[in-house]
Amino acid sequence: MTISGVMRTGEVCIRVMDLDAAREHYGERVGLIETLRDEDGTTYYKAWDEHDLYSLVIRPADHPGIEHVAFKAVDDATLTEVAAKLDALGFPTTELPAETMPRSGRRFRFTLATGHEAHLYAEKEQCGNGMPLRNPGTIPPPGTVRGMRVVRLDHCLLGGGDIDGNIPVFKDAFGWSLSEKLIDHETEMTLAMFWTGSNTPHDIAFVRQPDDNRFHHASFLLESVNDVYHAADLMGYYDIPVDVGPTRHGITRGATIYFFDPSGNRNEVFTDGYLHYPDTPTLVWDTSKLGQATFSQDNTPRQSFLEVLT
């Protein structure tokens, strides 16, 4: 699959209530690399195998949740083109100058139908992954990979009322594919949507919720199921609150653990899943198989997983 246009979810900015605890969680426990820190305490992180300067941003606040999600376009011309499509589709954009987010180029800000602030950008400073671009080898320098051994930001799941209203953004403006969806088996109403702009099962997902602008989780990719169990051992050792796992999803087929940061924002570590191509049909699950769709090893849905969002 040739990845072009809008490539991926490139940045998630979340609110945290205790910066010191959040920095310990994301930096020491999850193992992300701190790359920048603002005067107000806003802190920027990348995973070891990401080249961009940051993919996760934590901001001090008096309540948890998501500040914004940002999508990376392949180049500046595409950025202009997609912003024009969003305007034409009824999602008015506001151009933000370069350095609105540090060491990042100009952006377009818009609001999703689910009430989430979204950004579209094409340029961000790259700092590499610790390996040279010529004769890079196979592993980064010792000590680079820490904590839960996160490879990169994988996706996020957001909640809101009008998840159908986001279809024009991802289908028509971004050109992404609807990889999977969950529907009510009696009414056929869509309850969750999974969108991909790449070969992954999903780059972002939405779940129908009564309140807009809700945050379910940010997910970090691991290399293997063995790393999932390593992460679980760390969660036990450091007494990190676990929501679900280790287990496997039916939707996406990924191996997973869900856990919480000190502010109550849910995180996920994730691996495996399947390869998606443009000719892969949309996979449909219904609520008669809700347990298998969510957690396929014991086929048991968890109330906290379905209802707790920030």
Catalytic residue list: 155, 202, 217, 249, 258, 268
Tokens of 81: 């083109």
Other Cβ atoms closer than 10 A to 41: 14
Tokens of 69: 């999600």
Task: Give the whole-angstrom CA distance, residue 308 versus residue 115.
Answer: 18
Are 116 and 66 in contact, with CB atoms under 8 Å apart? yes
| Closest to 219 measured CA to CA, from 152, 262, 268 | 268
Three-state DSSP class for residue 265: coil
Cα 182 to its chain centre, rounded Å, is: 19
Query: What is residue 116's DSSP assignment?
Result: -
Task: Give the whole-angstrom CA distance, residue 44 versus residue 35.
Answer: 6
Which helix H or strand E contains 229, and what residues bound it? helix 225-238
| Closest to 180 measured CA to CA, from 190, 165, 166 | 190
Three-state DSSP class for residue 306: helix
Task: Give the whole-angstrom CA distance, residue 231 versus residue 160.
Answer: 30
What single-letter amino acid sits at 240? I
How many Cα atoms sit within 13 Å of 209 on the Cβ side? 23
CA dihedral 3, 180, 308, 256 (to 10 degrees): -70
Task: Give the whole-angstrom CA distance, residue 228 versus residue 122.
Answer: 32
The label of the residue with tokens 């809008």 reads 6
